[in-house]
Structure 1
Amino acid sequence: MTLESRVTYMPATAQTSTSSLSSNVKYIEEALFNTNDLKQRTLRGPNTSGTLLYLESLVDPMLIERNIIIPFKHQEDKELDELFTTLEYEQQTDLSKGVDGLIQGSCVYFQEGKPEFYILAAPAKYDRSITEPENEGIIRGPHNGFIESLTVNLYLIRKAINASDLIVKYYTLGSTAPRRVALIYLHSLAQPETVQKVESRLESISIDSVISTGFLQENMEDNPYSIFPQHLNTERPDHASSYLLTGKIAILLEGDPTALIVPASFFAFYQTPDDYNNRWIIASFVRIIRLISFITAFQLPAIYIATVSFHSNVLPLQLFFTVQGSLTRVPFPPLVEAMLLELIFELLREAGLRLPSRVGQTIGIVGGLVIGDAIVKAGLVSYTMIIVVALTAISSFLIPSNEMSSSMRILRFPLMVMASMFGFIGISFGLTIMFIHLCKLESFGKPYFSPLAPLKFKKLKDTFVRFPIWNLWKNSDSPGKGN
């Protein structure tokens, strides 16, 4: 069943509660399709009696006992409003609001003879601890990360940014399984037209359910057919906060520890929090290495194929004889040789990801050594190609963003095909197409390849290298202005 074909099984129209306790309870039961985890409990006090409804899988039983059951037994002459002072509650007459409250972890109390009912907050808390994300580890800086609770994630951001103009706007997406989405930005730094564009795209999303932030990405991208990611993902509060302080906008989803940062630029995918935690000379050196790894990650196999197939005269004489000697026993052309090794590497990579961590590491190391050595001895590939593919794989691991790393892995294959057909001219043609696409690409109306296209000299201070902080973020050149 596709997402579009699902049916939303909710009451078509809102219904007002009545003074009949049984009819109100019956409506709730039918709205929840008589689910077995809907529990009823009759509460009787000296002056009143009623029925308490709750979904046992979503509430905290200790909280119900302490804040509802025990006060009822000792209510004496108190009104219900006085009994529920220790709980977050509201009075309602719309039964559909009661159904929504039950699904969100609240209790509903109906009193005999009264049409009004109470929605009492008693949600269960099963959140995991705030730990550092495994895929975004840093050497120096705060070691905490987002979790699946939207409230906790907002707390982490507000603790990092103590600003009165930090704005949070809530949206509810999904007709079958509604989930909350939070839009976060700094009013003084974010550009109003960008905020308006993000809001309009969020409001235009119409799907049955939002399982993860990936659903939001695909529904909000400027160019969904581009291979390059147009949202920056992070699970680090300090990383998200630093982008908010440069005028960016963050999007958080209830139940997902990943924050989406928009608008994104190409060079942002090669920056990490460590770039600003270390001294500027070290940070600049490491950033240059990362950008070199970008070139190596998808061009090195193509350059090797073009060199041995068409332009072997560019090699020094001794290196030429070494490369040619390793190719004499290989029965396949360089393209097939490279494709075979790249396929083996992708298989080992996926196997290592899907298996338990200890077994996965063993498969990756032992599998690479055994298969690599055996395939060379069998004469299927050359030692030189093993070195090229290994360097390419290591270079792809240097890219901080997993999405950008995946894009580079895919780009290798068409570039290798063009190199095998036209040599260096084919590589140049492929790179020209790629850079034209990068120059035309936009993320929420902002140039994706900025600050190179269009060229902004001031922004180059934090692109290929990182200038000192005292030179980078001056009051006269606030990072949030002009983004």
Structure 2
Amino acid sequence: MRRRNSTNKKGNSIFPLKIEELEKILTNKFENNPDLKFSTYEQQGVKLAVFFIDYQVDVGKLQKSLLEPLLNMEKKWSTDSILNEIPLNSGSRGTTLDEVLKKLVIGEAFIYVEGEKEVVSYLLLHKESRSLEKAETESLVLGPKVSFTESLATNLNIVRWRIKSTDLVLEEFKIGKTMPSDVRLVYMKSIANDEDVNTLRQRLEELDVDEVEDSVVLKQYLEDSQTNLFPQFDHTELPDRFTYAVKKGKIGILVENSPSGFIAPATIFSFLESTEDLYMRWQAGTFLRLLRFIAIAFSITVTPLYVAAVSYQYSIIPTEILITIGQSRAGVPFPPLIEALFLEFLLELLREAGARLPTKVGQTMGIVGGIVIGTAAVEAGLTSNILIIVVAMSALSSFTVPSYLLGTTVRLVRFPLIVLAGILGFLGIVFGLCFLIIHLLRLKSLGRPYLLPVYPLIIKDFNKVFYRTPFNYTNKRARSYRPKDLIRFNKKDATKKRDIDE
């Protein structure tokens, strides 16, 4: 395993010094913070100090595993005797003030023997973590419901439990200069492409930031283009989705204090996949995947098409429907462009308000608010009832996307298309879609084309993206990610029929 430590050891050694001087230095550094606990002991004429930050250290472990053995030592206190006698394997030495301060705030307890040139520290971090719960943003009907937590140790335990293989690699990194965070690079050594692993490892090693708040933030630092609207790494809070991608040959990253992980490389089609497709019959899984592709195309284009048709190309609308649209818009004072933008903006307000309110209140707000405001808008003549139906269908289609990040992107892309449709009609929609496709063709994820396997064309991977086949015929991994081991199992053995007595 590789370990990167971004903390720099600056400053000269402050030891040896008197215990009273050490206490004064630390008290001044922490601005007389009462959480700094500093205790002094004396034995066989030797003075010793134990200091740590309260609430950061597991006090029970400190008392039982450190203080009791320390105070019962028969040997004379010294740095070497303490490291040899105390039954903890996390002991380390330090000499500079910067080392002491940085280790104090991450949960290490220190022992200093007066007159020694070094201080001894032990990691006794006290962690608060919640129990395993159901995922909030990625709900499933079938399959495991458990989600990641903020504890990296718990998340690694879940990953290890789901991938019981010595081939699993968990590379360790420290990211952040002032507040380092533990980061793990997760991949299968015999499957993952070495070029992808090296690229992601290099980006982690070269990342020079003060802190990493969450895996979502780290993901944005590591993406190929930080200014792009589309997410380039797949983000998930479901361990089964995370491990499924790792077993396919992708690379996962987990971050301390983050209840989610992300997967690289990714394509736009990765965000439309759901592990729930695997738990259904292959016919149902194929239907749901195709439904999502249709839904995302419908969500992007249906409102712009309505605006373009009503504003310019109304001749393509059947006469019966055109009469109905004309009657519904008879009392609306605004052009279709302003009307559509108003409703889309109103819908986004309702969605955001529902997401920020408590769960039960948010559900009520979304349903009641949509009905009341929509009805009032029609009666007040601000909009037509047909456009309300169009906008509602567009919103429902965007909610079928399993990835929250891509769903948000789809809703944002819709706004410029509506504007182009209101200005140029169908020509504006064509121009906007062409620009979008060209943009996606240029986009990359970890150096891989974002539209794989459509561009470059790899037809043999279509059964991994657009439709599902029975498990007996999925004996090969996707070529798109160039795994080192393409074969999953022997197809002849998997499809061979055997009698019950064989």
TM exceeds 0.5?
yes
* Cα deviation, residue 476, structure 1: 10
Query: Equivalent residue for 1:240?
Result: 242
Tell me the distance in 1 between the aligned counterparts of 2:165 and 2:235: 23
Structure 1 residue corresponding to 2:162, chosen from 160, 163, 184: 160
Query: Equivalent residue for 1:13?
Result: 11
**For 2:390, what is the secondary structure of its paired residue?**
helix
Tell me the distance in 1 between the aligned counterparts of 2:215 and 2:479: 33
Query: Equivalent residue for 1:63?
Result: 61
Once the two structures are superposed, residues 204-259 of structure 1 have per-residue CA deviations (whole angstroms, 9 ceiling, x without a partner) of 22222221223323322222222111111011111111111111111121111121
Opposite residue 254 of structure 1, the aligned amino acid is E
Tell me the distance in 2 between the aligned counterparts of 1:348 and 1:162: 45
Query: Equivalent residue for 1:143?
Result: 145
Moved more, 55-64 or 305-314: 305-314
Which blocks of at least 5 consecutive residues in structure 1 are unaligned?
1-7
* Cα deviation, residue 33, structure 1: 5.2
Tell me the distance in 2 between the aligned counterparts of 1:477 and 1:413: 36
Structure 2 residue corresponding to 1:124, chosen from 123, 126, 133: 126
Query: Equivalent residue for 1:429?
Result: 431
Q: Are the equivalent residues in 2 in contact too, given 1:20–1:115 (CA < 8 A)?
A: no
Taking a change above 3 Å as real, the CA distance of residues 81 and 225 of structure 1, as seen in their structure-2 partners, is closer
Tell me the distance in 2 between the aligned counterparts of 1:36 and 1:10: 27
Query: Equivalent residue for 2:444?
Result: 442
Give runs of aligned pairs for residues 21-100 of structure 1, distance below 5 A.
21-29=19-27, 32=30, 34-44=32-42, 49-76=47-74, 80-81=82-83, 83-85=85-87, 87-95=88-96, 96-100=98-102
Query: Equivalent residue for 2:498?
Result: none
Q: Are the equivalent residues in 1 in contact too, given 2:332–2:384 (CA < 8 A)?
A: yes
Which blocks of at least 5 consecutive residues in structure 2 are unaligned?
1-5, 487-502
Query: Equivalent residue for 2:263?
Result: 261
Give runs of aligned pairs for residues 394-413 of structure 1, distance below 5 A.
394-413=396-415
* Cα deviation, residue 475, structure 1: 7.5
Taking a change above 3 Å as real, the CA distance of residues 93 and 174 of structure 1, as seen in their structure-2 partners, is closer
* Cα deviation, residue 318, structure 1: 2.0
Once the two structures are superposed, residues 141-167 of structure 1 have per-residue CA deviations (whole angstroms, 9 ceiling, x without a partner) of 222211111122112111111222222
**For 1:342, what is the secondary structure of its paired residue?**
helix
Query: Equivalent residue for 1:300?
Result: 302
Moved more, 121-130 or 99-108: 99-108
Tell me the distance in 2 between the aligned counterparts of 1:117 and 1:110: 5
* Cα deviation, residue 343, structure 1: 1.0
Once the two structures are superposed, residues 100-139 of structure 1 have per-residue CA deviations (whole angstroms, 9 ceiling, x without a partner) of 3322212111123433432123221211112122111212
* Cα deviation, residue 76, structure 1: 4.9
Query: Equivalent residue for 1:231?
Result: 233
Instruction: State yes or no: 1:332 paired with 2:334.
Output: yes
Q: Are the equivalent residues in 2 in contact too, given 1:302–1:412 (CA < 8 A)?
A: yes
Q: Are the equivalent residues in 1 in contact too, given 2:83–2:91 (CA < 8 A)?
A: no
Structure 1 residue corresponding to 2:416, chosen from 414, 417, 421: 414
Q: Quick one: percent identity of the two aligned structures? A: 35
Say how many residue pairs are matched: 475
* Cα deviation, residue 68, structure 1: 2.6
Query: Equivalent residue for 1:4?
Result: none
Taking a change above 3 Å as real, the CA distance of residues 9 and 27 of structure 1, as seen in their structure-2 partners, is farther
* Cα deviation, residue 49, structure 1: 4.7
Tell me the distance in 1 between the aligned counterparts of 2:344 and 2:94: 63
Tell me the distance in 1 between the aligned counterparts of 2:214 and 2:480: 33
* Cα deviation, residue 311, structure 1: 2.4
Opposite residue 61 of structure 2, the aligned amino acid is L
Opposite residue 347 of structure 1, the aligned amino acid is L
Q: Are the equivalent residues in 1 in contact too, given 2:252–2:262 (CA < 8 A)?
A: yes
Taking a change above 3 Å as real, the CA distance of residues 14 and 293 of structure 1, as seen in their structure-2 partners, is farther
Query: Equivalent residue for 1:387?
Result: 389
TM-score, length-scaled by structure 1: 0.91
Taking a change above 3 Å as real, the CA distance of residues 282 and 480 of structure 1, as seen in their structure-2 partners, is farther
Q: Are the equivalent residues in 1 in contact too, given 2:233–2:265 (CA < 8 A)?
A: yes
Q: Are the equivalent residues in 1 in contact too, given 2:39–2:50 (CA < 8 A)?
A: yes
